[in-house]
Amino acid sequence: MCELMAMSANVPTDICFSFSGLMQRGGNTGPHKDGWGITFYEGKGCRSFKDPLPSAHSPIAQLVTDYPIKSETVVCHIRQANSGEVSLVNTHPFIRPMWGKNWTYAHNGQLADFKTKLAITYHMPIGETDSEHAFCWILDQLLQHFGKDVPTPEDLFHYVIGLCQQINKLGVFNLLLTDGDFLLVYCANNLHWLTRRAPFGKASLIDAEMVINFDQETTENDIVTVIATQPLTDDETWQKMQAGDGLLFSKGQLICQYTKKS
């Protein structure tokens, strides 16, 4: 399946270190060779880079690695196609406007019977993937449930978790969803996360020969949370999410959590 990565930080932060490791999994250390994409938020604006080429061999991915774009919220996806052809239009993350903000979404997993089980009315997919179809369905449900009244982050979080549970019945549905201010994460089967804060130390990538000393790159007030399908470093303590768990982050801080009751 695909791999996900995201970042939430309380100060504009570049993700070059983590992205340098993840991009190697797209056709080098991993099989996710069917495209990649990344979206950076800067205030209410966002910039997105996508390429249907493997990230390990993509000149655009190399540009992103070398270009330290500073952002408080980032969503990234490397694709192993199982629904829809390998093409730019089917490459994550997907972005749609709602409530005066750009919403960015990425999915890891595979869904069956999604066209019949997830009927959509207002937000039409551009490509053919189960992922984008599910995103459009989520937006439809949000619009129908909340209307023009923008929900609180906590209300939105719990409502979307319920939608994720419905979608997950069709297969596997790991989710990243953000409006730039808040980052929502849902785990179906495989997601990890860590929060870096003072005192900072060194970290070594698993997929590339790269070591960074965060103490030299940060201040004592910085808080940076990274989410990934699989841990990106081998000398930090990553927390593994359990199936059915949901997390909500803002500016690097965990502000809301849902734990599936057994």
Q: Which residues are catalytic?
A: 2
CA distances from 57 to 14, 53, 60, 61, 241 (A): 21, 7, 9, 8, 30
In Å, the largest CA–CA distance within the chain is: 53
User: Would you call the peptide bond into 93 cis, given omega within 30 degrees of 0 as the criterion?
Assistant: yes
Structure tokens at 65: 């690695």
Q: Are 31 and 105 in contact (CB under 8 A)?
A: no
By the 8 A CB rule, do 246 and 185 touch? Answer: yes
Q: Where are the alpha helices (DSSP H) in 56-152?
A: 59-66, 114-117, 130-146
